[in-house]
Amino acid sequence: MSYRLSKINHQIQRELSELLQREVKDPRLGGMVTITEVSTSPDLSYARVMVSIMGTPEEKDDVFKALSAAKNFLRRELGDRLGLRRTPELDFHRDESIERGAHLLELIDKATRSGPNPKE
């Protein structure tokens, strides 16, 4: 990946995070929503946005419905903020890595608590 594309990915991630926190007034996005990664195609026509959501499966579905509804607004705002000739079409995907990491830490804690005590 080129330096320019990497920089654009980072800018899109930062701006989307800010837009979701401050501009989008959908109550379904009130939970723990994090943009973890953005991967833009070389021609800037598409951006794959990885989103991590903490909550129940119903809350996660609601968040993706809200993101889908706000997709055009977010794209228009990105175009205004970034000043790119072509603003990429946003494609939101679930990122389960944070949840998997939290689950693994929980399992490790449980194993260390229930394991044999080391002799001193």
pLDDT bucket at 117, cuts 50 / 70 / 90 = low
Mean pLDDT of 48-77: 91
**Distance from C-alpha of 108 to C-alpha of 49, rounded to nearest angstrom:** 30
Number of domains in the chain: 1
In a domain, residue 120? The reply is no
Query: What is the pLDDT at residue 68?
Result: 92
Residue 119 lies in a domain: no
Find the domain containing 30 and state its range: 3-114
Predicted confidence at residue 118, as pLDDT, reads 55
Beta-carbon contacts of residue 15 (< 8 Å; ≥ 6 apart): 77, 78, 81, 82
Q: Which CATH number is 55's domain given?
A: 3.30.300.20
Helices (H), the chain: 3-22, 57-82, 97-114
Burial class (CB in 10 A: 0-12, 13-18, 19+), 79: middle
The pLDDT tens digits of the residues spanning 43-52 come to 999 999 999 9
